[in-house]
Amino acid sequence: MTEQREVGRGQKTYDFGTVRGRWLRLENAEDVLDLMDCETGAEGVVAVVRDAGATFLGPIFDELTGVVCTGGTIRSHIGIISREYRIPGVIAFEFDTVDVFEGEPEGLAEPMNDTVVELDGAGVDGVVRTATP
């Protein structure tokens, strides 16, 4: 059994409790179209984006399990849409680099695509942890 590791923290978009899904970095509309072509679509996906506008998520937003955005605030477009659609979200997300050893790139803090993660919106902050499948 793999131990949970905190991936990072940010502002939760609302009090959503805890949800689990597959971490998937989406950079642009082409990534969204590729996901729409998959058999499972966006079901079970925690979308990870940089841009708090992220309008390219529009076609799949209501199918997502959650959204993590490394920019913006809860007042950004993605934060507002997250609350309106009741899609759990963590905004202004910062990776926890405590477990990254000296000399290793900070990118090691980010889980690989398809890693099962848990979004926890029960506390003051929105917290993302790796989870067992």
Q: Which CATH architecture has domain 6-130?
A: 3-Layer(bba) Sandwich (3.50)
Q: Which of 54, 69, 63, 75 is nearest to 35 (CA)?
A: 63
Give the distance, in angstroms, between the CA of residue 5 and the centroid of all CA atoms in the same chain.
Answer: 15
Domain range list for the chain:
6-130
- pLDDT of res. 1: 47
| Mean pLDDT of the chain, nearest integer | 90
> Residue 42: helix, strand or coil by DSSP?
coil
Position 112 scores a pLDDT of 93
* pTM (2 d.p.): 0.89
How buried is residue 42: exposed, middle or buried, by Cβ count under 10 Å (0-12/13-18/19+)?
A: buried
Q: In sequence order, what are the residues at sequence separation of 6 or more whose Cβ sits closer than 8 angstroms to the Cβ of residue 12?
A: 74, 88, 89, 90, 91, 121, 125, 126
Angle among Cα 90, 94, 55 to the nearest 5 degrees reads 50
pLDDT at 45 over 80: yes
Lookup: tokens for 27: 């950079």
